[in-house]
Amino acid sequence: MNLKISPAPIGGNLRAIASKSYMHRALICASLADKPTVLFCPESNRDIIATAECMRALGAHITEDNGRYTVCPISKSHSGPVVLPCNESGSTLRFLLPVAAALGGSAVFHVRGRLSARPLSPLYEQLVAHGAVMSPNGVFPLSLEGKLQSGVFSLGGSVSSQFFTGLLLALPILDESSTVLVEGTLESAPYVRLTESVMNRFGVFPAVTENRMEITPAPYRSPGTLDVEGDWSNAAFWLVAGAVGGGITMTGLQHDSCQGDKEIVGLLKRMGADIRTDGDRITVKKSALHGIEIDAKDIPDLVPILSVAAAYAQGETVIRGASRLRLKESDRISSVLQMLRALGIECAEMSDGMIIKGGTPKSGVVDACNDHRIAMSATIAAISCAGDVTVLGAEAVNKSYPAFFEHLALLGGEAIEV
């Protein structure tokens, strides 16, 4: 689907959609719990569906009715091989490799798109070293047999925090204690804190420090009901839209959330945005922005939309610490720069980020590169652009935000299929 987005003043109120990062974790914990859990998650997407389908395959009974998910936990070890359709969800694959191994039995992981090319090392080698029997690394469908054994796991912190989340979720259901050692600096650390937060709601309390995680056997205990909190990652698109295009008020976001992408508020303030908070209401007005330096080590998902704010800012914005973006749904350093250049913005590539010289984006054609965050970023860039912008492959938004273009229309934006 190709969409033409025309410049238009936008404004209004919008409630943040539910966090898919939170929902992934809640679905897994609920499936491992002692009794049923009701999860309230008003919005879904392809990634959430992938995790739900995989947990069903592993033996959980999950039903959904208008955003109310009833999760009856896995009652016994699955007989295999079960097929786990991860689709394009990296979280689903990386979280469930350790979980399925800890449950025992046999499973086959299926993936689509670039996910087969995204790294599984060193998680793969650590699982094999602790009893898992797996088909060759990087070859899909990926088969898994055997049962994970407790012990000491050691992983570098710079590849993916998802590896650590997968182990944190899996290791409590083993019979003995385990230790996870972090080699170097753990990047995207807020995602691990989010994992801890959700596990805590289910009565499991791993001891996590900067370079060490201690996990003792513990039963997951259902809280009964759980509300999935609002998604800061996707709210960031509308907060930037307010700063470059008009007044927007977001609700439904928790300021004490463990989600790292809540840093969007502070970053926009540093760039000069008129942004104000009142309880769970965050209002952003069109502002004269200026360039800043950004360390994206803990907030890689914000880089595409921050590049849009930088495109409208006076002066240069330097984004560093983003080398892992090359391993996302697209090579996001390359695809972000491609987007900016298509809109007439001067920018330069660095090994771990980019330099963006702000100005006024012009009309152009942007290829979303099958990447939801590129499709949404290009759309936000278009709302105050000097002319129409065509986004090729705009349906990529369905991975995380199927209602994105409906919400754009609610705020006065215009997108026409071409």
Q: Which residues are catalytic?
A: 301
Strand partners, 39: 69, 226
CA angle, 299 then 50 then 96, to 5° = 75
Q: Give the β-pairing of 61-65 and 12-15.
A: unpaired
Contact status, residue 206 vs residue 177, Cβ threshold 8 Å: no
Task: Tell me the residue type at 286.
Answer: K
Q: Would you report the helix, strand and coil content of the chain in percent, each value rounded to 5?
A: 35, 25, 35
Tell me how far apart the alpha carbons of residues 175 and 240 are, in angstroms, rounded to a whole number: 47
Which residues, other chains included, contact 49 with Cβ-Cβ below 8 Å and sequence gap of 6+?
A: 87
Separation between Cα atoms, residue 385 and residue 387, nearest integer Å = 5
Q: What is the 3-state secondary structure (H, E, C) of 203-267?
A: CCCCEECCCEEEECCCCECCCCEEECCECHHHHHHHHHHHHHHCCEEEECCCCCCCCHHHHHHHH
